[in-house]
Amino acid sequence: MSESLRTNLYQLNSEKIDFFSCAQFSLIHVACLLVIWTGVSTVAVVTCLALYFVRMFAITAGFHRLFAHRTYRTGRVFQFLLAFVGTTSYQKGPLWWAAHHRHHHIHTDTERDLHSPLTHGFWQSHVGWFLSRDSLATDQKLIPNLIKYRELRLLDRFYPLPPIILAVSMFVLGSTLEHYAPTLGTSGLQMLVWGFFISTVLLYHGVFTVNSLAHIFGRRRFETEDDSRNNFLVALITLGEGWHNNHHYYPSSERQGFYWWEIDISHYILKVLSWLGIVWGLQSPPARVYDR
Ligand SMILES: [Zn+2]
Ligand SMILES: [Zn+2]
């Protein structure tokens, strides 16, 4: 661990915290405590994990590999589907996400990088930057290829709507199951807690580990100018984003696990979707990357 990280490991720039963002983020965490009253059922846990998986895929394959890096191509309907499902994660909209991520690649691990654990500490890189007033605006100059899509602009503007739709759907689904399949032991409130609140909190911290842990712990295959790492555990929980040193070395590649043993679930799914003709033009690392 570097000296600068050791000194500001637990720092959080509290002066810059945006009250509204922080209130929403905290409420979603506190709402998980409702589980004490709602209890648990198999169907609720399965729904929670399924929604974690599907939304993580939309963030990694959609927000990251498609919108931020254009590492493959797809039609406008599937592009919208990825954007909508990703937005239900309540990590703001696709344009905001892609612009901030491109900013990270331009300024990685410098003072200007909003979520570098090296320059700003672990907690600032994990959640502080997301709640900061510094990250509220979207730099449209960084995403000229995305703002031309009207539907993406709309989603970005009304980003709280998809998560609200998901939360309401969970409540309706739970209430319906309680009425028609009482043996499942679920209810509207239980499904809301597991399918939306707990799943969304797991998703927040799963995605955030790429910014925090994957710039601290792991191996460095490539001597990049940043401190990005390849981290197996982060790759597992983020469906392949943990091969972060690979990614910083060659961000134009759709696959982030460069070898068969580097598990990259988003890549496997995109590969299957390419056989079905839903996505195409998947970019791979060139031979010179493997020669190194
Ligand atoms: Zn990074
Ligand atoms: Zn990236």
Domain ranges of the chain: 3-229
C-alpha 8 – ligand 2 centre gap (Å) = 24
In this prediction, residues 251-274 reach a mean pLDDT of 97
Q: 9 falls in which pLDDT band (50, 70, 90)?
A: low
pLDDT, tens digit, 9 for 90 and up, residues 42-72: 999 999 999 999 999 999 999 999 999 999 9
From the CA of 69, which ligand is nearest? 2
C-alpha 41 – ligand 1 centre gap (Å) = 37
Question: Distance between CA atoms of 118 and 124, rounded to whole angstroms?
Answer: 10
The pLDDT of residue 109 is 87
From the CA of 117, which ligand is nearest? 1
C-alpha 175 – ligand 1 centre gap (Å) = 41
pLDDT, tens digit, 9 for 90 and up, residues 93-141: 999 999 999 999 999 988 888 988 988 889 999 999 999 999 999 999 9
C-alpha 160 – ligand 1 centre gap (Å) = 26
C-alpha 124 – ligand 1 centre gap (Å) = 14
C-alpha 215 – ligand 1 centre gap (Å) = 6
C-alpha 69 – ligand 2 centre gap (Å) = 7
Q: Helix, strand, or coil here: 113? A: coil
CA 141 from chain centre, in angstroms, equals: 22
C-alpha 90 – ligand 1 centre gap (Å) = 21
In this prediction, residues 136-158 reach a mean pLDDT of 95
Task: Please count the other Cβ atoms lying within 10 Å of the Cβ belonging to residue 112.
Answer: 12
* C-alpha count within 13 angstroms, C-beta hemisphere, residue 186: 26
C-alpha 72 – ligand 2 centre gap (Å) = 14
Of 283, 285, 286, give the one whose Cα is nearest residue 73: 283
**What average pLDDT does the chain have?**
94
The pLDDT of residue 290 is 87
Token pair belonging to 87: 């937005």
Percent of the chain beyond pLDDT 70?
Answer: 95
C-alpha 66 – ligand 2 centre gap (Å) = 10
C-alpha 244 – ligand 1 centre gap (Å) = 6
C-alpha 48 – ligand 2 centre gap (Å) = 26
Q: Measuring CA to CA, how many Å separate 197 from each of 54, 88, 230, 273? A: 15, 11, 30, 29
Q: Measuring CA to CA, how many Å separate 234 from each of 46, 108, 212, 264? A: 21, 19, 10, 11
H/E element holding 279? strand 279-280
The pLDDT of residue 180 is 97
Q: Measuring CA to CA, how many Å separate 50 from each of 46, 61, 195, 256? A: 6, 16, 9, 23
The 8-class DSSP code of residue 68 comes to I
In this prediction, residues 74-80 reach a mean pLDDT of 98
H/E element holding 156? helix 150-157
From the CA of 65, which ligand is nearest? 2
Ranges 75-84, 166-175, 200-209, 218-227: which has the least confidence: 218-227
How would you classify residue 281: left for phi > 0, otherwise alpha for psi between -120 and 50, otherwise beta? left
The pLDDT of residue 227 is 93
Residue 22 has pLDDT above 90, yes or no: yes
The pLDDT of residue 65 is 98
From the CA of 64, which ligand is nearest? 2
